[in-house]
Amino acid sequence: MQTGISTACFFMREECEQAISRINGLGAQCAEVFLGTYYEYRPEFAKRFAPETGETKVVSVHALSTNFEPQLFSGSRRVRGDAFYWLDQFLRSAQLFGADKYTFHGFISHGRNDDFDGTAAGLNEICRFAARYNVTVCLENVAWCIYNRPGVFKELKSRCPQLAGVFDIKQARRSGYPYQMYIEDMAGAISHVHLSDIDERGKMCLPGKGIYDFDEIIKRLLDVGFDGPVLIEVYGGDYGDFEEIRESLDFLDEKIYKLKR
């Protein structure tokens, strides 16, 4: 496993390009670049700021899902055309950052969506499009989007073989289902992981600063054969000093080292 940081950790504290540079300065092995605006989706942005990653490998890129992802599934050719235009821009930027994984939410779904055939048809088209850029689409479990309950990924994967998964412990908690169910659902297809912690009051915090049993979490991931990027993903108000993020990286590195011995 390689530990890293998502630029989402710095949202509203630093701009994306500053966050990229800071992650490199914190010594992370890898990173996820969260591009959150149309300005940032453009390849011109990536060309300018990709060098800021330094020695840190960008393993994945993430978009603000409501900007164009739901529209990729639209029945309107014009709406879908606009969405695929921005997907094209986004994937060109992913290439420039050196990322080959796309953390994907898809459309909003607060309830139960059992149209697996229809959803998979859209996902297959998106996966084929991304494959032109050598980028894999990785569906993240998100409480308010496509993958909002255990079992969904397995159904979609059986219809869309190119699809990979992203396990997010924060979103598992918000969905109301045990996180272990999501790990089992994505077993053998987890691309990367988003980790956070919660304190005694249930407030999100950095891994190692709360009450989660990370020995158990890492063991569960190892048991299903996962050995990929483990990324810290919290928000700007979930920690104090930036050095706390370095401490959290060290905490995860130590846990992984001991459990893999």
Tell me: the pLDDT tens digits for 63-94? Answer: 999 999 999 999 999 999 999 999 999 999 99
C-alpha distances (whole Å) from 11 to each of 14, 54, 148, 191, 239 are 6, 20, 24, 23, 12
* Number of structural domains in the chain: 1
Average pLDDT over residues 40-52: 97
Report the C-alpha gap between 4 and 29 in whole angstroms.
5
Tokens 């879908």 found at: 80
CATH number of the domain enclosing 241: 3.20.20.150
For residue 101, what are the contacts with CB-CB under 8 A and spacing of at least 6? 59, 60, 61, 135, 136, 138, 164, 191, 192
Bridging pattern class, strands 2-6 and 229-232: parallel
Q: Provide the residue type at 254 as one letter.
A: E
C-alpha distances (whole Å) from 120 to each of 159, 166, 168, 186 are 6, 17, 21, 16
Report the C-alpha gap between 34 and 6 in whole angstroms.
7
Share of the chain above pLDDT 90, in %: 98
End-to-end CA distance of the chain: 12
Average pLDDT over residues 88-112: 96
| Structural domain boundaries, residue 126 | 2-260
Q: Is the pTM of this model over 0.85?
A: yes
CA angle 148–255–234, rounded 5-degree value: 40
Residue 145 is given by DSSP the state B
User: What is the pLDDT at residue 119?
Assistant: 98
User: What is the pLDDT at residue 226?
Assistant: 98
Strands (E), 129-179: 136-140, 164-168
